[in-house]
Amino acid sequence: GESVGLHLPTLSVQEGDNSIINCAYSNSASDYFIWYKQESGKGPQFIIDIRSNMDKRQGQRVTVLLNKTVKHLSLQIAATQPGDSAVYFCAEGGGSNYKLTFGKGTLLTVNP
């Protein structure tokens, strides 16, 4: 079936560096994408979303880029902080299916 997957299972960065977390999706009908952050022992928290009519969307220190040609999604975190350490999931949805499909997750570790 259709799936969402991540290129890198783990990412380690230095505090203050920028982080980029990547995600590949396979359902060309998907038109809505979300990034979630999950800290240890907690449920996933919404970070930012983007619809397929956009290529880029910015939030506070985070930017999501969508490349529909190659079905690729990325999350950029500027000036990464220790509090950004978490597992990050991408999710896709769309068409007649209102359910989201989640990727495997990337563990981001920020070193002080």
Partner 1 sequence: EADIYQTPRYLVIGTGKKITLECSQTMGHDKMYWYQQDPGMELHLIHYSYGVNSTEKGDLSSESTVSRIRTEHFPLTLESARPSHTSQYLCASSENTGLYGYTFGSGTRLTVV
Residues that bind partner 1 (CB under 8 A): 1, 31-32, 34, 36, 41-46, 49, 87, 89, 91, 93-94, 98-100, 102-105, 107
- Report DSSP state, residue 7: S
Nearest CB to partner 1, comparing residues 18 and 45: 45
> In whole angstroms, how large is the CA radius of gyration of the chain?
13
Rounded Cα distance between 41 and 19, Å, is: 23
Rounded Cα distance between 61 and 94, Å, is: 26
Q: In whole angstroms, how close is the CB of 45 to partner 1 at the nearest point?
A: 7
Q: In whole angstroms, how close is the CB of 89 to partner 1 at the nearest point?
A: 7
